[in-house]
């Protein structure tokens, strides 16, 4: 029997399927090839995994734990996989220098790049302390499916907070602040990067919106004191203001560490809804996000188009 020649067909609900080349566009349903791997894969969707990882005693163990979870995420079909802030070292100003490494020459970048290439995924490497000459940064690298470093984002707003008796942290005592936005694309998705405290600065996410991003990713290690009040609120606000998806990815909560991270990693949609959320322990949350939702919300509530550029303006200087 002669092999059937196929072409992709996108249904009105956005789902894609293969159909015979001979099939007229309007009679497609009767001619579906049932075993086709494209069936039920929406061209506008992206499967995202948020890995809420538990810290481990050594850097090598952190990398091994992350690698095992990344493999699991790939098995579940994730194309974009996100790790938390400071996933391979303690979140501590006293420890940053000891754990810092060059990016992408260091051991963590090499391991993540190799794994991204082996699995063919986009891997947002959470953050780890980066050494560049005499300077240290809190940096989020992104590796593409060929293992290449797609971009890096250096935390721009350093976490200097002092709530006596609750949380005192001075990241600026140990680190230099970055001053560049960083974006990458996965299919049709343009994605912007920030790190934890950065989400308190609405202008930053708005700048990414101006660049055309439909998703923001914030590897984070939020404090358990501010977490219950501000974590959801900030994620949802950035999503709603900018009509985009927002992923907040935390380490698992571990009460035995000096700095305790909040946990509760979550993903918000352009309506400002929390789509899925982890609890406190190590956990993977995985979901499909759909670009059409951004388009729909932008059409239905056109706040982005209705900004009054004649009265006020947001200017990205870099
Ligand atoms: N890692 C961070 O930047 C923590 C930010 C935080 O806890 C906050 O309340 O903001």
Q: How far is the C-alpha of 31 from the C-alpha of 48, rounded, in Å? A: 31
Q: How far is the C-alpha of 128 from the C-alpha of 83, rounded, in Å? A: 10
Confidence check: pLDDT of 112 > 60: yes
Q: Residues for the chain: how many in total?
A: 318
Q: What is the pLDDT of residue 10?
A: 46
The residue written with tokens 């219950």 in the block is 228
Q: What is the pLDDT of residue 120?
A: 98
Distance 195 CA to ligand 1 centre (A): 9
Instruction: Give pLDDT tens digits for 218-250.
Output: 999 999 999 999 999 999 999 999 999 999 999
* Ligand 1 atom closest to 234 (CA): 10
Q: Which residues are catalytic?
A: 85, 155, 196
Q: Is 15 in the pocket of ligand 1 (CB under 6 A)?
A: no
Distance 28 CA to ligand 1 centre (A): 52
Instruction: Give pLDDT tens digits for 247-273.
Output: 999 999 999 999 999 999 999 999 999
Distance 176 CA to ligand 1 centre (A): 16
The residue ranking higher by pLDDT, 141 or 30, is 141
pTM of the predicted model, to two decimals? 0.88
Q: Is 92 in the pocket of ligand 1 (CB under 6 A)?
A: no
Q: What is the DSSP string of 235-300?
A: HHHHHHHHTSEEEEE-PPP-TTSSSPP----EEE-TTS-EEEE--SSSEEEEEEEEHHHHHHHHHH
């Amino acid at each position: 029997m002669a092999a059937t020649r196929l072409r992709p067909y996108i249904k009105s609900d956005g789902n894609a399927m293969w159909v015979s080349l001979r099939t007229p566009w309007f009679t497609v349903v009767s001619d579906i090839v049932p075993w086709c791997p494209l069936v039920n894969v929406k061209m506008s969707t992206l499967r995202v995994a948020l890995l809420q990882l538990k810290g481990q005693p050594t850097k090598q163990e952190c990398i091994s734990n992350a690698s095992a979870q990344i493999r699991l995420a790939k098995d579940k079909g994730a194309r974009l996989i996100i790790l938390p802030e400071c996933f391979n070292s303690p979140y501590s100003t006293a420890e940053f220098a000891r754990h810092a490494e060059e990016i992408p020459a260091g051991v963590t970048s090499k391991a993540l790049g190799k794994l991204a290439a082996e699995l063919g995924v986009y891997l947002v490497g959470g953050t780890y302390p980066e050494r560049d000459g005499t300077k240290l940064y809190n940096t989020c690298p992104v590796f593409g499916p060929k293992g290449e470093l797609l971009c890096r984002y250096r935390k721009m707003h350093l976490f200097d907070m002092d709530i006596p008796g609750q949380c005192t942290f001075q990241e600026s005592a140990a680190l230099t602040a970055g001053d560049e936005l960083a974006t990458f694309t996965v299919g049709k998705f343009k994605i912007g990067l920030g790190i934890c405290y950065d989400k308190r600065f609405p202008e930053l996410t708005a700048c990414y919106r101006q660049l055309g991003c439909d998703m923001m990713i914030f590897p984070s290690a939020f404090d358990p004191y501010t977490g219950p009040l501000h974590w959801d609120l900030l994620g949802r606000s950035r999503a709603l203001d900018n009509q985009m998806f927002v992923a907040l990815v935390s380490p698992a909560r571990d009460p035995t560490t000096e700095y305790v991270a909040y946990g509760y990693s979550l993903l918000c949609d352009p309506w400002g809804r929390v789509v899925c959320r982890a609890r406190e322990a190590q956990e993977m949350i995985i979901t499909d996000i759909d670009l059409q939702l951004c388009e729909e919300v932008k059409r239905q509530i056109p706040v982005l188009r209705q900004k009054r550029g004649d009265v006020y303006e947001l200017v990205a200087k870099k």
